[in-house]
């Protein structure tokens, strides 16, 4: 007879963004763009930028401390730390291991997960299964990015989009509710649509890769936009189906914060009112794996999520990847 699965839920959240604000008007002085152009096409007004000496693990640490405090959990009681990021401190060791050391979480296993902007929901899916099966009781998941360090500040098509930040959550057993479903997907044939070409084994770092700007984000914006509009609503609907819920059962929607037009399209697919959709893209830009947990933490702090609410998280990103989760808030 199989072991009965436990309910896994989020018991604490936290977020952190750097102090430095870079507005659209600031960008007008750097590249050929305008505040009106950026706002009308993306919805972004400003973003946060980390200092030169601030790494992804530093942002992750600040968000993690808040989440642990919110959950009433000591770092020494953590069983596992998962960091979702595409901007690790270095190729290795894992940023999660560096975070484990900063937190003095000596008993915790730790690994990184790279799924682009879908990364936090991928991490939530993994954490849920560790907790549901009884393998671990206390899992910390963090989405953290310092994208300002990998954007080409001379490329107006990408540098206006991204920002830095971190969001964290603690996943533990809960009596009822919690994570009801997780849906993950990928289409590797679209890998070249959003990539950082050099620095890996395909194109190791050399003088040519540096001179040709191959260590910066490259994106085919129109193709990624079309993919996102198609997949966001589809993934959310599939996650709802797996949770035995309908669109009418959704109380609150937290999408990846990439573009207001993409968010609007997904909300329309779910037939949601704007009051039921959380948007903070205007303040932070696209923070990749950090975007959903930052939004979740801010929504909770603002009192927009209540016990028993059905929450839908959905993201898309490099890979190409997509992911959606349905949570009954407990």
Q: Calculate the CA 270 to chain-centre distance.
A: 21
Beta-carbon-side half-sphere exposure of residue 82 (alpha carbons within 13 Å) = 24
Asked if pLDDT for residue 10 goes beyond 50, the answer is: yes
* CA distance readout (Å), 80 to 74, 107, 110: 13, 8, 6
The Cα–Cα gap between 227 and 263 comes to 13
Sign of the dihedral through C-alpha 243, 248, 254, 258: positive
Tell which residue, 128, 138, 156, has the closest CA to residue 75: 138
Q: What percent of the chain has pLDDT over 70?
A: 99
User: Domain spanning 7-176: which superfamily?
Assistant: Thiolase/Chalcone synthase (3.40.47.10)
Asked if pLDDT for residue 49 goes beyond 50, the answer is: yes
Predicted confidence band at 3 (pLDDT cuts at 50, 70, 90)?
confident
Interacting residues of 312 by C-beta distance below 8 A, sequence separation 6+: 236, 239, 240, 250, 252, 253, 254, 270, 324, 325, 326, 327
Q: What is the DSSP string of 78-116?
A: -SEEEEE-SS-SSSSS-HHHHHHHHHT-TT-EEEEE--G
The pLDDT value recorded for residue 310 is 98
The pLDDT value recorded for residue 2 is 61
Q: Which residue has the tokens 């999520």?
A: 305
Q: How many H helices and E strands in the chain?
A: 10, 13
Tell which residue, 61, 66, 28, has the closest CA to residue 45: 28
Q: What is the mean pLDDT of residues 162-178?
A: 98
Mean pLDDT computed over every residue of the chain: 97
The Cα–Cα gap between 112 and 108 comes to 13
What is the chain's length? 330
Four-way CATH pick for 180-328: 2.170.150.70, 3.30.565.10, 3.40.395.10, 3.40.47.10: 3.40.47.10
Tell which residue, 84, 88, 26, 21, has the closest CA to residue 58: 88
Q: Which two tokens stand for residue 191?
A: 């890998």
Q: Which two tokens stand for residue 259?
A: 């573009």
Q: What percent of the chain has pLDDT over 90?
A: 98
Q: Where in the chain is the domain with CATH 3.40.47.10?
A: 7-176, 180-328
Predicted confidence band at 4 (pLDDT cuts at 50, 70, 90)?
confident
203-237 pLDDT, tens digit per residue, is: 999 999 999 999 999 999 999 999 999 999 999 99
How many Cβ atoms sit within 10 Å of the Cβ of residue 104? 11
DSSP letter for 4, please.
P
How many Cβ atoms sit within 10 Å of the Cβ of residue 216? 17
Angle between helices 56-71 and 291-301 (to 10 degrees): 40
The angle subtended at Cα 230 by Cα 229 and Cα 235, nearest 5°, is 105
Interacting residues of 235 by C-beta distance below 8 A, sequence separation 6+: 183, 185, 314, 316, 322, 323, 324
Q: Which residue has the tokens 């050929």?
A: 32
Q: What is the mean pLDDT of residues 71-75?
A: 99
239-276 pLDDT, tens digit per residue, is: 999 999 999 999 999 999 999 999 999 999 999 999 99
Tell which residue, 88, 27, 139, has the closest CA to residue 289: 88
Tell which residue, 140, 137, 129, 142, has the closest CA to residue 174: 137
List residues with catalytic annotation. Answer: 117, 256, 286
Q: Which two tokens stand for residue 162?
A: 């991204």
Asked if pLDDT for residue 179 goes beyond 60, the answer is: yes
The pLDDT value recorded for residue 1 is 47
């Amino acid at each position: 007879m199989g072991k009965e699965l436990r309910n896994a839920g989020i018991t604490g959240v936290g977020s952190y963004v750097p102090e430095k604000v870079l507005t659209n008007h600031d960008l007008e002085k750097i590249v050929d763009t305008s505040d009106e152009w950026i706002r009308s096409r993306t919805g972004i007004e400003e973003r946060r930028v980390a200092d030169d000496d601030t790494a992804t693990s530093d942002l992750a640490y600040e968000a993690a401390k808040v989440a642990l405090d919110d959950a009433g959990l000591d770092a020494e009681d953590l069983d596992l730390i998962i960091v979702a990021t595409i901007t690790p401190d270095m190729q290795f060791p894992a940023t999660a291991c560096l975070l484990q050391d900063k937190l003095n979480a000596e008993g915790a296993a730790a690994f990184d997960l790279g799924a682009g902007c879908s990364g936090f929901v991928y991490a939530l899916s993994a954490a849920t299964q560790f907790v549901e099966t009884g393998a671990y009781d206390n899992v910390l998941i963090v989405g953290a990015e310092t994208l300002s360090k990998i954007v080409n500040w001379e490329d107006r098509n990408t540098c206006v989009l991204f920002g830095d930040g971190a969001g964290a959550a603690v996943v533990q057993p809960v009596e009822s509710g919690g994570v009801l479903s997780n849906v993950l997907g990928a289409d590797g044939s679209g890998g070249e649509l959003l990539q950082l070409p050099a620095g890996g084994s395909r194109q190791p770092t050399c003088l040519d890769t540096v001179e040709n700007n191959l260590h910066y984000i490259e994106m085919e914006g129109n193709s990624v936009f079309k993919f996102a509009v198609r997949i966001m609503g589809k993934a959310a609907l599939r996650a709802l189906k797996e949770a035995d819920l309908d669109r009418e059962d959704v109380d609150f929607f937290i999408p990846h914060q990439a573009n207001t037009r993409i968010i609007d399209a997904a909300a329309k697919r779910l037939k949601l009112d704007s009051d039921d959709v959380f948007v903070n893209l205007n303040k932070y830009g696209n923070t990749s794996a950090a975007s959903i947990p930052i939004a979740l933490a801010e929504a909770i702090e603002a009192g927009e999520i209540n016990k028993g609410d059905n929450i839908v998280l959905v993201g898309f990103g490099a890979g190409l990847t997509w992911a959606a989760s349905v949570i009954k808030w407990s």
